[in-house]
Structures are given as C-alpha cells and as structure tokens.
Amino acid sequence: MGDDSGMDAVQRRLMFDDECILVDENDNVVGHDTKYNCHLMEKIEKYNLLHRAFSVFLFNSKYELLLQQRSGTKVTFPMVWTNTCCSHPLYRESELIPENALGVRNAAQRKLLDELGIPAEDVPVDQFTPLGRMLYKAPSDGKWGEHELDYLLFIVRDVAVSPNPDEVADIKYVNQDELKELLRKADAGEDGLKLSPWFRLVVDNFLFKWWDHVQKGTLPEAIDMKTIHKLI
C-alpha cells in the first residue's frame, strides 16, 4: 500500500470495494476497475482511464441549490465545496441500465442516501432530469485526480437531510446571488474557500441558465443528452 497508510478506513474500503464503470470518450462501456485505480493520476495518464460519474443538483421548492462541503477524510478534494452530490455509478446491473440514464439515476438515489441521509422516497428515480454530459480531467494533488464522463442530473424536491460525517463536512442551501458571492470568495481566496473543479465547470458553462429554466418550469427545454461536452 506504500504511502496509503494514512488513508481513512472507510475511504480505503470504498476505494478497493467499489468498481467504477470504464467508458470511452463516446460513453461506451469498455470495462471496470477499482475506484482506487480510477483516481490515481499515474493510471489515468498511462492508460487513459475514464470512468462514468454523475453530479446531482438538488433544489428545494424555493429553488435554492443544496451544496455540500466534502469531508476532510475524502481522498480527492477534501474540504472542498461542491454541488449536492457527486459520485459514480458502480459496475453492477442496476447501475449499468442505459435507458434514459436509469443506471445513473439509480446510483444518484443510492448516493444521496449514503452521503446526505436523504431517504429514497424523497428522491424517486423518475424525478431526476438528466440534462447533459461533460468530460473533464482534474488533478486533486500530485497523486490523485479525476477523469470523468459526468452525467448532470437536476431534481427539485423538498427533502430530509442528515449528512454522513464520513462523506460530508457541512451543507447549505444557496440562491443564485449567494452562490455568486461564494464564487467571488473562492476566486479571491477568502476564508480558505475552495470549489470542486467539476462544480466550477458546470457553474461556468451551464448552471445559471439551467437554474433559470428550473425557476420558470421549462427545464425540459435545456435537455441535451446527445452531446458530450469535452471541457478539458
């Protein structure tokens, strides 16, 4: 294990037990590998390992976006603020279903419970709207990083939240102006505030116009699941 000895026990178990779905740049499944290998920059660069992921943006009925701060024990991007939930569908039958991204939506429901304690009945899989896909690569530190084909899922629901401290350090709901203030602070380096690179990509490319659609009730107009946005 070399220099992994300091890895948190829960994160270590997840790193080796969870098998991510490997895809090519067109999102065709080409295999599977451990979460550990999928996040080692050395393997990402050597084998061009790309895995399927999702990012959930959950809004309450006031159209405020739920943000989370990743826990300090996370291997990648600890203590970084990000969107509601970011994770991976696993290489298992229920999370590989391609029709209307059902496998990814099943995974999103599973992880909202796992990370934020949101009960499955609060986030029915048919309530998620897959809006688009993006491909990006982002190093976390010298050793770890991300290379993901990320499904962007929106859902508007009032939910019960009970964060899992192994996964989440803090949560907050923000409106558009409050998020813009967070972005300003992150850019200015104030309060040590950091935002995840994938959240920043969504913010800079899509979020505010999609958020306007949420508030107007016109979200279906924003759906584009044909394009894979390569934001590298």
Reported as a single tens digit per residue, the pLDDT across 97-128 is: 999 999 999 999 999 999 999 999 999 999 99
Decide if 116 contacts 84 (C-beta within 8 A).
Answer: yes
**C-beta atoms surrounding 209 within 10 Å:** 9
Q: What is the pLDDT of residue 182?
A: 96
pLDDT at 32: 96
Q: Which sign, positive or negative, has the C-alpha torsion 184, 185, 187, 188? A: positive
20 included as an active-site residue = no
Catalytic entry in 86, 95, 115, 167: 86
3-state SS, residue 66: strand
| 169, two tokens | 């350090």
C-alpha span between 143 and 45 (Å, rounded)? 11
Per-residue pLDDT of 199-213, as tens digits, reads 999 999 999 999 999
User: According to the model, what pLDDT value does residue 232 have?
Assistant: 74
Distance CA 161, CA 167 (A): 13
- Name the DSSP class of 195: B
Residue 145, φ and ψ in degrees, nearest 5:
-175, -170
Q: What is the pTM of this model?
A: 0.92
Query: How many residues does the structure list for the chain?
Result: 232
Please report, as a single letter, which amino acid is at residue 81: W
What's the CATH number for 9-230? 3.90.79.10
Tell me if residue 19 is catalytic. no
Alpha-carbon Rg for the chain in angstroms: 17
Catalytic residue selected from 19, 115, 148, 167: 148
pLDDT, residue 121, reads: 98
pLDDT-flagged residues of the chain (< 50): 1-2
**How far apart, in whole angstroms, are the C-alpha atoms of residue 178 and residue 81?**
13
Question: SS3 for 18?
Answer: coil
**Per-residue pLDDT, 231:** 92
- What pLDDT is recorded for position 2? 47
pLDDT of 16 reads 62
